[in-house]
């Protein structure tokens, strides 16, 4: 059996849909070293944009630490540790044991073999807090932890290595290394008093 097709009216073929619009142009590229890349810019919402992408390797190191000296001798900190004891029929009373310990004073910071300054752990901790306040958008490496007890030589060396790695990573970001906070930290306080 033969089925006859319905005749279609003569309609012109439909044109293809228009192509999608081109993507927006990429942001402008700034040549390496242009001041615009280093300067923070204000956007419309009032937030500051800081470019953390420009990195460099600085020969910064914390190769050693030294103990505070007073009158040519190592400074010995006397520390009294309270302990309680009780005997039959007596109230607990407080006694003190005298412990003498050497206390490391400062970690020495060098740049390309030249001594820049010496800083206590507390100063590294303050630097970390100040940098986090100034560079809110940057993810800072972790600072070695604070320890309430006397550190052994191995623990001190581990802390020294951790502080060195912290400075290497943070100073590798040009805008942070050149900030006033970092420059003040790396300037010897004795140099500031001259003049």
Please indicate, yes or no, if residue 158 is contained in any of the structural domains. Answer: yes
pTM (predicted TM-score): 0.59
Please indicate, yes or no, if residue 124 is contained in any of the structural domains. Answer: yes
Q: Provide mean pLDDT across the span 12-41.
A: 65
The token pair at 121 is: 């752990």
Please indicate, yes or no, if residue 15 is contained in any of the structural domains. Answer: no
Please indicate, yes or no, if residue 132 is contained in any of the structural domains. Answer: yes
The token pair at 69 is: 């000296």
pLDDT class for 68, splitting at 50, 70, 90? low
Please indicate, yes or no, if residue 32 is contained in any of the structural domains. Answer: no
Please indicate, yes or no, if residue 125 is contained in any of the structural domains. Answer: yes
pLDDT in tens, 118-135: 999 999 999 999 999 999
pLDDT at 32 over 70: no
Look up the CATH number of the domain holding residue 179. Answer: 3.30.1520.10
Domains identified in the chain, total number: 1
Please indicate, yes or no, if residue 101 is contained in any of the structural domains. Answer: no
Q: How far apart are CA 55 and CA 52, in angstroms?
A: 8
Report the SS3 class of residue 115: strand
Please indicate, yes or no, if residue 18 is contained in any of the structural domains. Answer: no
Q: Which residue has the higher pLDDT, 11 or 118?
A: 118
Q: Provide mean pLDDT across the span 78-88.
A: 36
> 152 lies in which domain range?
48-66+106-188
Average pLDDT over the chain, rounded to an integer: 74
- Give DSSP secondary structure letters for 49-111: E-----B----EEEEEEEE-EETTEE-EEEEEEEEEE--TTS--EEEEEEEEEE-EEEEEEEE
Instruction: Report which secondary-structure segment, H or E, holds 41.
Output: strand 41-42
């Amino acid at each position: 059996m033969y089925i006859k097709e319905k005749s279609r009216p003569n309609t012109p073929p439909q044109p293809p849909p228009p192509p999608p619009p081109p993507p927006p142009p990429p942001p402008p590229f700034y040549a390496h070293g242009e001041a615009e890349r280093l300067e923070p810019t204000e956007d419309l919402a009032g937030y500051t944009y800081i470019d953390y992408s420009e990195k460099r390797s600085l020969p910064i190191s914390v190769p050693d630490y030294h103990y505070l000296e007073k009158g040519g001798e190592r400074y010995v900190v006397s520390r009294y540790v309270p302990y309680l004891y009780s005997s039959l029929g007596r109230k607990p009373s407080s006694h003190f044991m005298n412990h003498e310990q050497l206390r490391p004073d400062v970690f020495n910071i060098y740049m390309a073999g030249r001594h820049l300054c010496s800083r206590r752990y507390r100063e590294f901790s303050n630097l970390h807090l100040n940098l986090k306040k100034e560079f809110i958008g940057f993810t800072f490496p972790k600072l070695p932890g604070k320890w309430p007890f006397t550190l052994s030589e191995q623990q001190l060396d581990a802390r020294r290595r951790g502080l060195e790695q912290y400075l290497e990573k943070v100073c590798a970001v040009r805008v942070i290394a050149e900030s006033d906070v970092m420059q003040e930290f790396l300037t010897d306080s004795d140099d500031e008093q001259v003049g």
